[in-house]
Amino acid sequence: MVVGELIGLGKDMLAQIMQLDTVLIFVILVIAAVIGYKILKYLMKAFIVGIVFGGIPIFMTFMGYPMDISFASISGWAVTGIVVFLVYHTISTTIKATKFILSPFGSKKKEKVVVKEKIVHVPAEKKKNRK
């Protein structure tokens, strides 16, 4: 069996897509563009972190600490940086997803009510006249 037949797409996938409403096709295209943008942004962040971590041996050598500046050393630091970024992003995403999933079950926050009292200064002369 072909995978397309398993998920319900026959041999005429293009014909089935053409039968969809134009709005639905546009929505699918927008969702695909947003997902693609998010993935590209994530990969660019990982690439930048790899470059920064790859520069550590060069920076340390200029600071006076003897480190091996070779392709193996620089690429090892870059891979380490990318792995650290992936672990950080995975933990961060897991925490955000857990908070989102558990948010309906949390306690409701009480509203803080702040009452400001207006203090009026009465001159001393008027106080004497009141008596």
pLDDT at 113: 63
Contacts of 30 (CB under 8 A, 6+ apart): none
pTM (whole model) above 0.85 = no
What is the phi-psi region of residue 124: left when phi exceeds 0, alpha when psi lies from -120 to 50, beta otherwise?
alpha
Question: Going residue by residue through the chain (131 aa), what tens digit of pLDDT does each one get?
Answer: 455 555 555 567 667 776 777 778 888 899 999 999 999 999 999 999 999 999 999 999 999 998 888 999 999 999 999 999 999 999 999 999 999 898 888 766 656 666 677 666 666 665 555 55
**Of 30, 124, 45, nearest in space to 82 by CA:** 45
pLDDT at 2: 54
